[in-house]
Structure 1
Amino acid sequence: MRRLSRQGAVLGAGVVLLFAASTPAVADREESLVPSGGQENGNLNAQVEVIKYDTSKNGNGPSAGPVAAVQADWSPPPCWYAPKWTPDELRDYYQRGHEAIHHDPGMPPEAINEWSEERRNYIDGDYEDFNQEKEGEGMWWGAVQNPNAPFEDQFACDRVPFWADNGETPDVENIITPEILAGLAYEQIKVPGTEVTLAPGGKSKVNLPTWAWLDGGEFKPVAVTASLAVGGLDMSATTTATPKSLRIEPGTKDARLHPASGECTINGDGSIGEPYVKGKADQEPPCGVTYLRSSGDGSYAMEATVTWEISWTGTGVAAPQALPDGTFGNEQAVEVEEIQSINR
């Protein structure tokens, strides 16, 4: 299966940014290179929209936000191959591209020649008339870029459009799979904000434990399902995030954590830590912090971060498969004062 040069690969992928360095005007003509079918409003990457997301079980609210993967070498897929064009749509795509580049005086000759050669391949080369005789029996597959990925990584999928009959899964690296859908669903996960309850109320006291906890009703599993049904494909994946632990960073070195690791595990009911009750002010909490020095006229920026265990299931995959844990947290101001004593 053919690959293209850097310039041709980007054209073959359907993203008209390849000549931005030599001819900035190309970016303004994106819509002119868009196939007529299934690519509305000039969206060059409309396959992203073909993937449907069910976020009805996702986290919500003004404080909700996306998780960050704790595994530094993992990220959602930057690109993949999926069904994109019918024969008519691919013909229209190449015709629009042909007209656009031939009317651009700044287009490099080698780029024009490469595009023309690629187009001829679908007219009277490896294929004939864009496989018109197989209309309805399959689709042209092409590269799809993840707009959330680093720009250069998006073009790792550099094959020119290729044909696959309905129901056929091409033997090509980075072909769309339930696992790829799971990674894309990971990007859509949102979890609740992590402002913990602190007690005793008011200002914390030097050398007295501050109890910290999160209610189980607020911290429960969330999930997003990504699905794709096109070109004979029908697959989906559901990515689920389950609260795992709470980590506290006190905002100063003059503090002692409870437990010492700073990691508060989740309870059986989904809560984290234990609510403070009157009479326990001098007891060590299962989750909290003891400040050893006053914050003076200011406050400490305590950071509370929840770690979420993330897994997925999907088409042909019934048992949960692990994805990297994700984290989400925020800072909250904590004022700490000295305990005043009276000498008589």
Structure 2
Amino acid sequence: MRHLRGWPPLTAVSLVTIILASSSAHAVGGGGVNGSTDDNRSISASARSRIKVTQVSGPTGGKQGTLSSVDVNWKPPPCWYEPVFTPAQLQSFSEGNGDGDVSLRQGWLGTSLWTDHFRDEKSAANYFAAPSTVAGYKDYNLGKDGYFWRGVAPRVSEVDDTSLCGRLMFWENVGVVPDVPNAPTSKTLAEYAYDKVKVPATEIEVRPEARATVNLPTWVWLDKGTFDEVKVRAELPNTGLWAETTAKPVALHLNPGTEDAETYPASGDCGIDADGSIGTPYTPGNSDKTPPCGIRYLRATDGSPYRLTASITWQITWVGSDGTGGDLPNGVFETAQDIAVQEIQSVNR
């Protein structure tokens, strides 16, 4: 008897359909930003995305993080279809291992299910999409030029509608993106790449150093070139589809960590100049002047420092292989640092 991890022993048969739990199928893995591989087993056993993401421009070292959308209601596509097998690859897989996902939520164990449907033209049950019964194929479509497509999802648990991308693996001729709901587009790739954009941490310069002083401005700035736009390219192999998603820094927002403070400007939003700089560097003698970007604390800290947070807003745009393009919701990346504030020291003579 054969066993599937986490399931009771299979009895009497060497083939079985497994209805995949929410966490059993994955999209980010064998391809995309985690590395790419083309061996038959890794590209076919699980419903993993093969989207390849590369960084075209922007910093690659130092502390980095992903963006949070300012639009809490915006979400990237929950799932889509991708080409998985050539006829020869499907034959090798079906007559070899034969354990894997035939759709986003449906897995087949044992070679017989695969050979019955894709070699011997037998119909197969589809539990999550219409039609409920799907006609089979003859000899894996060997001799034809094209691919078998299957649904994928970055996080299957977030695909609320179980019918989405639920078709059993199906055929499409080479050079053609299937005309079905949830077929991939350039915008799909652009939105997929959104959380693959890595932006630098916001390490702001604060002067005067060491401790801020009550009622005296604290200057905040970043040197020029600190923030450059970040561009990533997402490509879906064997489709001709690609998109480039670009994040451009547009503003720094300061939160002093206490209501007993004033920010400069009053909104707390410091613009980013064309050269990537923010604010004006502090120089001795400017301690009592108003900085273009900064904070004035009105009360000293008492034991515990204030938690100063600085968040960079990034404007997100994209262009695609089909000539389309546009905007995606702005993203924000935030960092925090402790700042102690002392009373003004005076000497009586």
TM-score, reference length from structure 1: 0.77
Provide the C-alpha distance between the structure 1 equivalents of 2:251 and 2:233, rounded to a whole number of angstroms: 24
Q: Which amino acid aligns with 1:62?
A: G
Equivalent residue for 1:166, pick from 174, 197, 200: 174
Provide the C-alpha distance between the structure 2 equivalents of 1:260 and 1:52, rounded to a whole number of angstroms: 43
Is 1:331 the equivalent of 2:336? Answer: yes
Alpha-carbon deviations, 1:155-198, whole Å to 9, x = none? 53212222111112211121111111111221211111101101
Measure how far apart 1:92 and its partner are: 6.0
Equivalent residue for 2:256, pick from 245, 250, 258: 250
Measure how far apart 1:258 and its partner are: 0.9
Q: How does 1:1-344 map to 2 (within 5 A)?
A: 18=19, 20=21, 38-40=40-42, 44-46=46-48, 48=49, 50-90=50-90, 120=117, 123-125=121-123, 126-129=135-138, 131-133=140-142, 135-147=143-155, 150-153=157-160, 156-230=164-238, 233-317=239-323, 320-344=325-349
Measure how far apart 1:247 and its partner are: 0.5
Q: Which amino acid aligns with 1:177?
A: T
Measure how far apart 1:260 and its partner are: 0.9
Count of equivalent residues:
300
SS in 2 for 1:304: strand
CA 1:124 to 1:216, structure 2 compared with 1: closer, same or farther past 3 Å? same
Provide the C-alpha distance between the structure 1 equivalents of 2:137 and 2:43, rounded to a whole number of angstroms: 30
SS in 1 for 2:190: helix
CA 1:78 to 1:19, structure 2 compared with 1: closer, same or farther past 3 Å? closer
> Is the CA contact (8 Å cut-off) linking 2:83 and 2:148 kept in structure 1?
yes
| Greater share of residues in helix | 1
Structure 1: 5+ residue stretches without partners: 1-15, 28-35, 102-110
Provide the C-alpha distance between the structure 1 equivalents of 2:265 and 2:247, rounded to a whole number of angstroms: 24
Provide the C-alpha distance between the structure 1 equivalents of 2:150 and 2:43, rounded to a whole number of angstroms: 19
Measure how far apart 1:73 and its partner are: 1.5
Alpha-carbon deviations, 1:228-272, whole Å to 9, x = none? 231xx2121111111010011111111111111111111122211
Q: Which amino acid aligns with 1:326?
A: G
TM-score, reference length from structure 2: 0.76
Identity level (%): 36
Structure 2: 5+ residue stretches without partners: 1-16, 26-37, 102-107, 124-134
